[in-house]
Amino acid sequence: MNDLLLRGRTLSFLRWPETIHDESAYAYEEDGGVLIRDGRIVASGAYAEVEKQAGDNARKVDHRPNLILPGFIDAHVHFPQLQIIASYGAELLEWLNTYTFPEETKFRDAQYGRRVARLFLDEMVRHGTTTVAAYCSVHKQSAEAFFEESHARNMLNIAGKVMMDRNAPEGLLDTPQSGYDDSKALIEAWHGKGRQHYAITPRFVITSTPEQMEMAGALAREFPDLHIQTHLSENHAEIAFTQELCPWAKDYTHVYERYGLLGRKSLLGHCIHLGEREADAISETGAVAVFCPTSNLFLGSGLFDYQRFRRREKPLRIAAATDVGGGTNYSMLRTMDEGYKVIALNGEKLNPFQSFWQITRGNAEALSIVRNVGTLEPGTDADITVLDSRATPLTRLRMETVDTLAAELFLLQTVGDDRAISEVYVAGRPAKSDLAA
C-alpha cells in the first residue's frame, strides 16, 4: 500500500454556486488534506482527520499555502492545431482553409502526429488541465498517436478521428465507409482501454455529406455510450453555407437531430447563434453547448450568451473550453478570464466560484465523467491541480490586499497562467514536475 498525502488549502465543488456568498456550494478547508492510494482519492477534508487514515509509510507532500483543486477539464480542443495558434487575420471558414487544413494534412505522417501529441499533452499538463475532449485529424494514425500518448500518461481523455468527406483538400478527405470503418476500429482498440474514451467526431455539416452523417448516426446507434463531438452555429457564414447544403433542414441543429446525433453525451462546440427552436431541441435532448470564449473573440464569431442559456425555461447544459488553436491559450484560467468578459458584454457577471465550478465539476458533469474526475470526493481518480496565488511578482504584490477566497480565485482567473500551476497530479502521480525532470 503506497499512500500519498497532500496538504494544502483544499477546494472542491458540490454544486453550482448561485451567488458569490453561496458557501454551501463548495467544500473548503484552510488546512486540508487529500489522501491518495493506487491512483484514487481515499479521503479529503480537514488535514488532521485525513491524516488518521493514512498508512504508516505514507509519503507526505506539503503544498501550503497553495490551493489544491480537482484537475481542470477542457471540453473542446484540436490537438492537430498546436502549430497554428496565433495565426493572423481570418474568420472561421477562411481560418480552416488557410491554416487548419494545410496543417492537419501533415498528420498523415504518424511520426509527426506522435510528436505533436506529446507536446500537446505536455502543454495541457503545464496549464493544469488533466482531461480534454480532443479532435484529431481525419487520419486514423493521428487518433492512434493521441491515444497512445494519453494512455502512456494514464490520463482520462476523450478523443476521436475527425470524419469529413467534402469541402476540404484531397489529403484530408475520407469516405462515408472509410470514416465509419476507421472510427469503429479505433473504438474497438481504444475505448475503455485504461482511462481512454472515444468520441464519434463528424467535424461539422459543411465537411460531411448526408451519407457520412448517416454513418456517424450508425456508429452512435451501435455504441450508445460514446461521446459525440461536432461544431454548431459558430459563425454566420458557416450557418448560411449549411443552409445551402441542407435546404430541407428547419435550421442548423435540425441536421444533427435528423441523423440521431443529439443526446446527453453530444458536445456541440460554440452554439453562439442559436434560434429558440434550436436551443429547445438541445435542451430537450440533454446535449451540451460548449462555450469557447477565446476562439469566439479571436475569430470574431460572436458572444455566447452564457447566463441567458442557463436561465431560460429550458436551460442548456454548458461546458467551457479553450478551442485551441482557434482559441488563443491553453489555460482554462485564461479561458474563464475571457469568458468573464464575454458574459460582461452581454450585461451579466460570472462570479469566480462559478468559473472554478465550471472548469472542474461543471465540465465533468457536462462530459458525463463526474464519477471519475472533477471533484476531490473519495473514490474518484486523483487528478489534481495545485495553484500558487503568489507565483509571479504581480500576484505576490496583489495578494497583499486579497482577504477573501473569492478575491483570490478572481485574481488567479484574471492574471494567472501556467506559472500559477505549482503541480499537477494525474491518477495520483506528479505530472508537471515530471516535465522538467
Q: Which residues contact 88 (CB under 8 A, 6 or more apart)?
A: none
Give Cβ neighbours of residue 61 (< 8 Å, ≥ 6 apart): 4, 5, 6, 7
Q: What is the pLDDT of residue 128?
A: 98
Q: Are 227 and 198 in contact (CB under 8 A)?
A: yes
Question: What average pLDDT does the segment 135-141 reach?
Answer: 98
Cβ-based neighbours of 181, under 8 Å, separated by 6 or more:
none
Residue 183 binned pLDDT confidence (cut-offs 50, 70, 90): very high
342-358 average pLDDT score: 97
pLDDT band of residue 12 (cuts 50, 70, 90) is very high
Length of the chain: 437
- Say what the pLDDT of residue 2 is: 84
> What is the bridge-based pairing of β-strands 59-70 and 384-387?
antiparallel
If you average pLDDT over residues 367-392, what whole number do you get?
Answer: 98
pLDDT at position 126, please?
Answer: 98
Q: What is the mean pLDDT of residues 349-362?
A: 98
Identify the CA nearest to 69 among candidates 121, 9, 126, 15. Answer: 9
What is the mean pLDDT of the segment spanning 361-383? Answer: 98
In this prediction, what percent of the chain has a pLDDT beyond 70?
A: 100
Q: Rounded mean pLDDT of the chain?
A: 96
pLDDT for residue 9 is more than 80: yes
**3-class SS of residue 365:** helix
Q: What share of the chain has pLDDT > 90, as a percent?
A: 94
Identify any residues that bridge with 231 across adjacent strands, giving them in sequence order: 269
Question: Quick one: which H or E segment has residue 176?
Answer: helix 176-190
Where in 151-226 does DSSP place strands (E)? 157-160, 162-163, 196-202
Give the integer Cα–Cα distance in Å for 290 and 266: 10
State the amino acid at position 381 in one-letter form. D
pLDDT over 70 (residue 231): yes
- In the prediction, which pLDDT does 55 show? 84
Backbone φ and ψ of 93, nearest 5°: -65, -40
Query: How far apart, in whole angstroms, are the C-alpha atoms of residue 277 and residue 284?
Result: 10
State the average pLDDT over residues 165-174: 95
- Secondary structure percentages of the chain, helix, strand, coil, to 5: 45, 25, 35
Q: What is the pLDDT of residues 70-102, one digit of tens each?
A: 999 999 999 999 899 998 977 888 888 899 999
Banded model confidence at residue 301, pLDDT cuts 50, 70, 90: very high
The closest of 394, 381, 382 to 425, measured between CA atoms, is: 382
pLDDT of residue 1: 60
